[in-house]
Amino acid sequence: MNFAGIELDLSVPQVMGVVNVTPDSFSDGGTLYSDNALSIAAAVDRAAQMVGEGASFLDVGGESTRPGANAVSVDEELCRVVPVIEALRARFAVAVSIDTSTPQVITAAAQAGAGLINDVRALQREGALQAAADTGLPICLMHIQGEPKTMQQEPHYDDLFGEISSYFAQRIGACEAVGIARDKLILDPGFGFGKTLQHNLQLLQEMHKLQSFNLPLLVGMSRKSMIGNTLNKPVDERLYGGLAVAVMALERGASIVRTHDVAASVDALRMTHAVLSSSLPRKAGNAVN
pLDDT in tens, 170-201: 999 999 999 999 999 999 999 999 999 999 99
Domain boundaries, the chain: 2-277
Q: What phi-psi label fits residue 19: left (phi over 0), alpha (psi between -120 and 50 degrees) or beta?
A: beta
How far is residue 46's CA from residue 261's CA, in Å, rounded to a whole number?
Answer: 11
pTM here? Answer: 0.90
pLDDT score recorded for residue 70: 74
CATH topology of domain 2-277: TIM Barrel (3.20.20)
Active site residues: 224, 258
pLDDT block averages, 10 residues each, the chain of length 289? 97 94 60 65 93 98 77 91 96 97 98 98 97 98 83 86 97 98 98 95 97 98 96 96 98 97 98 84 54
Rounded to 5 degrees, φ, ψ at 258 are -90, 130
How far is residue 141's CA from residue 172's CA, in Å, rounded to a whole number?
Answer: 8
